[in-house]
Amino acid sequence: MKTRYVYIETFGCQMNVHDSEQMAALLEKEGYLLTQDSAAADLILLNTCSIRDKAEQKAFSELGRLVKLKEKNPGLLVGFGGCLAQHLKEGVYKREKAVDFVFGTHHICRLPEILTAVTTGKKRAVETCFFSEIQSLGVFAPPAPGALSAFVSIMQGCDNYCSYCVVPYLRGPEMSRPPEEILAEIRRLACCGVKEVTLLGQNVNSYGKNLAAGCNFVSLIKAIQDVEGIERIRFTTSHPKDLSDDLIDCFGSLSKLCGHIHLPVQSGSNRILGRMNRGYTVEEYGAKVARLRAVCPSISITSDIIVGFPGETAKDYQETIDMMEKIRFDSLFSFKYSERKGTAARTFKDPVPEAEKRRRLKELQALQDGHTQEKNWALEGSVQEVLVEGPSKNSDLEMTGRTRSWKIVNFKGGRELVGKKVNVLITRGFLHSLRGRMTER
């Protein structure tokens, strides 16, 4: 049989990256090999994101480029999946006729079946219904040879309905995977040589809501702590309103839980946080950060901020700046508010002009760069545990890896170190990485 090739392009968050890994694993069983060359593909899948308007534009401009390949290869199939597919449904065909099928976020495990229908004559399929049970999270994506890290989905969907956000409409209601399934997957990953797992969910802190009493995020990570072969545990994303004292304590007591938390704050103004439906105040957020730092002084704290939310005044914005000055994040993802169809904030008055959003974003990012640089300077002279991933981007004589706090470190060393944890004395802190040398300590 002729080998068939699939090219998958991923947009959006880590959840989408993991969904694409699952798609590749499923298609491999159907005889498709993954290719990095779109021109060589028999099947092209776009796994899209719809979080902001920009993500949507990016997906369509890439789709426009890829469907042109059909002129040379009329047998080429193009599937449009992910959050933007879920959002637009049959509307995808209005924008681009050359798409062969549209599949939503709950249909990943149905890809083989959808492909059979499409190749046997079904035209313009649209598979975007939601299922009341978890369908796709359990597909096992074997790690690439030598991979040290892997993503593990622990839940799907979101029930929070932050007023600006489309995710609950695109991923469905929150549902947690049973812990036995998650642990079995992690044991299997450990057998494949994986040493670090990142647990994925829109709000991992509320894991277990639909499961038996006593089954929560803390009990899950405590069970993962006992999995042999796994050396590091990470998770993303945490919602501040559900970050419990018990979970905070885990950063002091669980040796495998890495000292990094991504804790999106979104705004420093209580008025705006209320309108965003976030469920906490700036003071409550600050108190949780203080507890995290008390329990684990070396913890790195990263966050997300939206500027220019409807009605954000100069005073609200200044409060965000003041909060940043006080908290000092290790790094930050910041975005201009983007109006999304179907969300509550779309009806809110007093939009912030585009130019002002741009100005606020630029100023805030410059402030953050200063804070990130300061944090990295402060690490000079310290010894960090680094899990060695491979040669660095710039030199084969240098290895690269991450600290427990998720910072990139480059240092002199050979390939025999790959997969090992080594101690590195940090000699320089840059904006985006650290440099150091190996030490016995």
Based on the shown chain and the rule CB under 6 A, indicate whether residue 15 belongs to the binding site for ligand F3S.
yes
Map the footprint of ligand SF4 across residues 140-159, applying CB under 6 A: 158
Count of residues touching ligand SF4 (by CB under 6 A): 10
Alpha-carbon distance values, 216 to 47, 154, 213, 386, 391 (Å): 30, 11, 8, 30, 38
Smaller CB separation from ligand SAH, 252 or 351 = 351
Minimum distance between the CB of residue 214 and ligand SF4, rounded to whole angstroms? 24
Based on the shown chain and the rule CB under 6 A, indicate whether residue 154 belongs to the binding site for ligand F3S.
no
Map the footprint of ligand SAH across residues 57-76, applying CB under 6 A: none
Tell which phi-psi region holds residue 406, choosing left (phi > 0), alpha (psi between -120 and 50) or beta. Answer: left
Based on the shown chain and the rule CB under 6 A, indicate whether residue 232 belongs to the binding site for ligand F3S.
no
Based on the shown chain and the rule CB under 6 A, indicate whether residue 81 belongs to the binding site for ligand SF4.
no
Map the footprint of ligand SF4 across residues 167-206, applying CB under 6 A: 167-168, 202-203
Map the footprint of ligand SAH across residues 326-345, applying CB under 6 A: 335, 337-338, 340
Minimum distance between the CB of residue 423 and ligand SAH, rounded to whole angstroms? 33
Residue 134 touches which of ligand F3S, ligand SF4, ligand SAH, none (Cβ within 5-8 Å per kind): none
Smaller CB separation from ligand SF4, 239 or 288 = 239
Tokens coding 134? 């978890």
| Residues sharing a CB contact under 8 Å with residue 102, sequence separation 6 or more, in sequence order | 79, 80, 81, 85, 88, 89, 90, 92, 93, 124, 125, 126, 127, 128
CA angle 411, 231, 19 (to 5 degrees): 95
Show the site string, 50-89: x = touches ligand F3S by CB under 6 A, - = not.
xx-------------------------------x------
Looking only at Cα atoms, what is the longest distance across the chain?
66
Residue 52 touches which of ligand SAH, ligand F3S, ligand SF4, none (Cβ within 5-8 Å per kind): ligand SAH
Alpha-carbon distance values, 152 to 128, 141, 189, 302, 372 (Å): 23, 9, 9, 21, 28
The secondary element (H helix, E strand) that includes residue 250 is: helix 245-253
Please, are residues 329 and 301 in contact by the beta-carbon 8 Å criterion? yes
Enumerate binding residues for ligand SF4 (CB under 6 A): 158, 160-162, 165, 167-168, 202-203, 239
